[in-house]
Structure 1
Amino acid sequence: MLSPVYSRALFCLFVSVFVLSSPLTSTYCKDVSGPLSPEETLKNLVIPGDLEVTLFASEPMVRNPATLDIDARGRVWAAEGLNYRRYQDMVPEGDRIVILEDTDGDGKADSEKTYYQGKDIDNALGLCVIGNKVIVSRSPNVFIFTDEDGDDKPDKKEVLFQGISGEQHDHGVHSFVFGPDGKFYFNMGNEGKQLLHPNGKPVVDLAGNEVNATRNPYQQGMVFRCNLDGSEVETLGWNFRNNYEVAVDSFGRLWQSDNDDDGNQGVRINYVAPFGNYGYKGELGGENWRSERINREEEIPLRHWFQNDPGVVPNLLQTMWGSPTGMAIYEGRLLPERFQDEMVHCDAGPRVVRAYPVKPDGGG
């Protein structure tokens, strides 16, 4: 199986101490009014001259894909997200997980299969395909589907974790990613709140703490590592707002994007230092960033993350306003050299995909 880190970057075209420079380049969509056909959408994409964007699949094969993965055969798996919030009954049978395949090698999907459909996966925010298993993240549950006979239909559905808040909310549990150490990495936004075992008992991590957002010691959004069976959970960082899918590079380093309180020009990119507090809320009493405090920064982007508080891990970069929905470290060699080993950042707010060079800054 391709690592999800590689596969998402390919489909999207997405510290000792490291610093990020300004984006080397970006792809974005022009302002438009009204719905566009897939062909018109492609024409409205503004891309660098050494890249090309082609259409792989569109409606009616797949509708509103909310999360993607690519399996070892090169097939694209997509979880549709139509039944969301006030549109929860748009598809009475429930949202689908769809397998899209290019069977003749022309670069376009010509085969579509429904792997699973049901209300229990409505608006899933995460999809990870590994071997004959599919891990689906959809608060309040994380499901493992298993295809035991190879017919592209699940024969077994199990719960890996449950009790996660944020149902029908984009700040719930996000995608699982398979890391180079053979473990799962995953995260949840600040509406996730807690993690329970399938038997309903609270998860206690390897540090001896119950995994919840009650500030004992964790609060707000969190990022985790665990074994493939859900055991040996580690809480790697906390106090994020809505940290979407964690990106794991081939060295096991973790990178995330995080959304601000919408519209406050504080969207950020973080390197995840193990057991780090990332400062969305105050450490003493869970204060909001708007609260009066000593040495409060005047500029909202700086004030937003309690960056002047002791023990808060510094942000790598703040990208101002936006609504980031995922990132990857592109370690492939198919794209031009200037995109290789870069951080690819998908920001749905300004409708842009940015690529950031990552440069070492000393040997710390």
Structure 2
Amino acid sequence: MKSRLFLSAARVALLLSVPPAGKAQSPAAPLAPVPPEIFTLSDPGLEVTVWAQSPLLRNPTNIDIDSDGCIWVAEGVNYRMHFNRQPEGDRIMVLQDTDGDGKADKSWPFVQEKFLRAPLGVAVIGNKVVVSMAPDLVVYTDLDGDKRFDSAKGDTREVLLTGFFGRNHDHSLHSVTAGPDGKWYFSAGNCGAEFTDKSGKTFRIGSKQNVSWWPKDPDRPDGDPNKVAGLKSDDDRVYVGGFIARMNPDGTHVEILAHNLRNSYENCVTSFGDIFASDNDDQPACRVFGVLEGGNYGFASANGSRAWQADRRPGQDVKTATWRQEDPGVAPAGDIYGGGAPTGCVFYENGALGARHEGTLLVCEAALNTIFGYKPQPHGAGWKLERFSFLTTNQDGKIIGTDSTGGNRTAKADDTKTLFRPSDIAVGPDGALYISDWLDPRTGGHADMDDSVSGTIYR
């Protein structure tokens, strides 16, 4: 479940390709998998191996692991311009290693429905399977625990919250994480939202983000964050851009913990309740940070109407100006490392890998083909975050297929080390680290170029 931390004596699983269903075009030949031997680890005592590969799963956007060691995968086959590549809709898949040989050998869909178009989050919390698919946060209840959704057997589907803008958009609703306080934590990008929690409190969170995309749904038109920008929420506060929130599992008492982010893909909560996350800016200043509850994180102006360039003062460097670090009331930005595409994260603390790895924050960086590591230490109003490369396929830092490099190019054999696009990281009940890999020559720009919908899960 997402309340655990994720790290392991690294093994690997590769996603290749599964043919799209229905009338969609046939998939291309799969990309060559990223070979485990090209991974470089900060700890030479760890090993990377393949745990699963296509056709067991496709295009993983997010993963979670249940108490039985099964890995649940949110698939993004119908991603953006390819929204009808699989007409039956995307799937939440369950993968299992039935013979204990360290590799998945069985998979099946927990649920597949047309509504699902590249869902960005899956969390397994008891018998609840929580799927993040803007505009809705959907909770499936698996009454008999067979890991298959079947309404005929009494399984239920509930839209817990609705009103998140950006359908099939990277900057929309992201995954849920369970905290040690029993509450659920989630994040959303700067597509914004206007939603009402189960206590009857409405939140209006706007920005200047353009959320228009296809397909248009005449029955459920997408919201416009520009129309709610600057409006107060029912808690009498004005929230801007991306945000991180906390709520009770029944959807009551939502609290906005941090706002004015760009696109925080996932957050992780430690056993002491500390929250860590990453944030993706337009190329110059991606960051990893510890959450100061109630913090304004400085992406846009206070009313959400202006980008950092409009307010940059003479003498300010890009990092300072991007996150408004000299503006009053703005929280510390954390580790600002430049261009990139940070995705899933986890905090490792179960000790299975030994004392060296206890208290390690791990953050996926898809553009840099790397998993960052940190040993967070309290520092002033925030955290001291000294970055190191925990795992990478790209030791020389060659960057290909990203927003900062213009990106759209086809994969070539000698680019293998830059095909590793980690989307999420999770810790299994065995204490091992599992990493999902989107496996694509492109990241960012709302694009995918791998028509084979290949992917990977490493252990």
The residue correspondences of 1:176-215 to structure 2 (distance < 5 A) are: 176-197=176-197, 203-204=201-202, 210-213=203-206, 214-215=229-230
1:246 paired with 2:264, answer: no
* TM-score normalised according to structure 1 size: 0.85
The answer (yes or no) to whether the contact 1:297–1:303 under 8 Å persists in 2 is: no
1:275 paired with 2:275, answer: no
The answer (yes or no) to whether the contact 1:339–1:355 under 8 Å persists in 2 is: no
Give ranges in structure 1 of 5+ residues lacking alignment: 15-33, 205-209
The residue correspondences of 1:316-355 to structure 2 (distance < 5 A) are: 316-355=334-373
1:288 to partner: Cα distance: 1.0
Partner SS, residue 194 of structure 2: coil
* TM-score normalised according to structure 2 size: 0.68
Residue correspondences, number: 332
The answer (yes or no) to whether the contact 1:193–1:221 under 8 Å persists in 2 is: no
What's 2:307 paired with? 288
Q: 1:267 to 1:363 in 2, by over 3 A?
A: closer
Partner SS, residue 193 of structure 2: coil
Q: Identity over aligned residues, as a percent?
A: 39
CA distance in 1: counterparts of 2:11 and 2:269, whole angstroms: 18
CA distance in 2: counterparts of 1:133 and 1:334, whole angstroms: 27
Q: In the alignment, residue 184 of structure 1 is paired with which amino acid?
A: W
1:292 to partner: Cα distance: 4.1
Partner SS, residue 127 of structure 1: strand
The residue correspondences of 1:1-364 to structure 2 (distance < 5 A) are: 2-6=1-5, 8-10=6-8, 36-38=31-33, 40-48=34-42, 49-154=44-149, 155-197=155-197, 203-204=201-202, 210-213=203-206, 214-215=229-230, 216=232, 217-261=238-282, 263-264=283-284, 266-283=285-302, 286-292=305-311, 295-361=313-379
Higher RCO (C-alpha under 8 Å, 6+ residues apart):
2
Partner SS, residue 303 of structure 1: helix
Q: In the alignment, residue 162 of structure 1 is paired with which amino acid?
A: T
Q: 1:274 to 1:12 in 2, by over 3 A?
A: farther
CA distance in 1: counterparts of 2:75 and 2:303, whole angstroms: 41
1:111 to partner: Cα distance: 1.7
1:361 to partner: Cα distance: 4.0
What's 1:30 paired with? none
Give ranges in structure 2 of 5+ residues lacking alignment: 13-28, 150-154, 207-228, 233-237, 383-459
Give a deviation string over 1:32-52, Cα, whole Å, max 9, x none.
Answer: xx96433x4323322232221
Partner SS, residue 329 of structure 2: coil
Q: 1:297 to 1:328 in 2, by over 3 A?
A: farther
Q: 1:326 to 1:285 in 2, by over 3 A?
A: closer
The answer (yes or no) to whether the contact 2:132–2:176 under 8 Å persists in 1 is: yes
The answer (yes or no) to whether the contact 2:61–2:76 under 8 Å persists in 1 is: yes
Partner SS, residue 195 of structure 2: coil
Q: In the alignment, residue 276 of structure 1 is paired with which amino acid?
A: G
CA distance in 2: counterparts of 1:237 and 1:57, whole angstroms: 36
